[in-house]
Amino acid sequence: MKNEKCLPPPFPSASYSVIQCRMIGYYTEALIRLFYPASCEICHATLDLEENILCQNCASDLNGLAWPMEKTLADGHFEHLDHVWAVYAYASPLKELLHGVKYTGKDYLLKACRQKAIRLAQAVTSDFWYDAILPIPIDRLKLVKRHFNQTEIFAEMIGPWLTPPVKPSFLIKHRPIPSQASLSQHERAINVYGAFKVLRSAKVAGKSFLLLDDVLTTGATANEAARLLKLNGAKRVDFLALARTVPIPINRSKAEIGAVLTTVY
């Protein structure tokens, strides 16, 4: 029998190393914030060490916009889309966050929405089989101006927690779409017709895809992408949006928002 006293001390366990790394990260962050205090991206209040991107109040407002899980499936007629889900209702403070992402290049703001999006995407992808997740592309002009496609960044942010791979190169938008803001649902469908092109048409036939986009208004854009994929032989095309526009009063209370989220879906 070996003399246990002669054995070398055990290596620290993995969990011990993880705790050590977290503590180092915590103290480093505390030191950085001592000299460079972080502020909430919405109300600009100084953030506590436990808070990130949003203060507790704004984070609570954002959480209040999340559809209850059983109501995330959007009701409505989307001709070429088989299922449509949305994580949040499109209202403040999510509007400001997405505005910050699109127009000031703060793509890290998407992290504030990541957890709930992962939870819904995991539920959807475990109920249905997909061959790939396809972020809706933006046209080249927008890409040159913005330097990134926010939906692609978001897809890559949540992708590691999902089984189907994210494939941003399947679809391209080969012409800009004129503003849709004042158009009816029918006019929007005409406006986006032919805007997309499938780059890997040989890999589409018989496959199922989950499209991803930031905001769902009428669904015309995602519906057009789905039409093209199905024209190339796709078996099923579903759509998951980070946010969906709904009629929420501007000066609404949390109770009013909750009422809207449980009745409109």
Residues that bind Zn ion (CB under 5 A): 40, 42-43, 55, 58
In terms of CB distance, is 51 or 82 closer to Zn ion? 51
**By the 8 A CB rule, do 201 and 230 touch?**
no
Rg of the chain on CA atoms, in Å? 22
Phi–psi pair at 222, nearest 5 degrees: -65, -35
CB of 116 to Zn ion, least distance (A): 18
Q: How far apart are CA 226 and CA 77, in angstroms?
A: 13
**By the 8 A CB rule, do 210 and 124 touch?**
yes
In terms of CB distance, is 38 or 172 closer to Zn ion? 38
CB of 249 to Zn ion, least distance (A): 21
CB of 10 to Zn ion, least distance (A): 46
In terms of CB distance, is 58 or 220 closer to Zn ion? 58
CB of 96 to Zn ion, least distance (A): 10
Q: How far apart are CA 151 and CA 8, in angstroms?
A: 51
In terms of CB distance, is 55 or 158 closer to Zn ion? 55
Alpha helices in the chain (DSSP H): 14-35, 56-63, 94-104, 114-127, 140-146, 150-158, 185-192, 220-231, 254-263
In terms of CB distance, is 58 or 226 closer to Zn ion? 58
Enter the tokens of residue 164.
């189907």
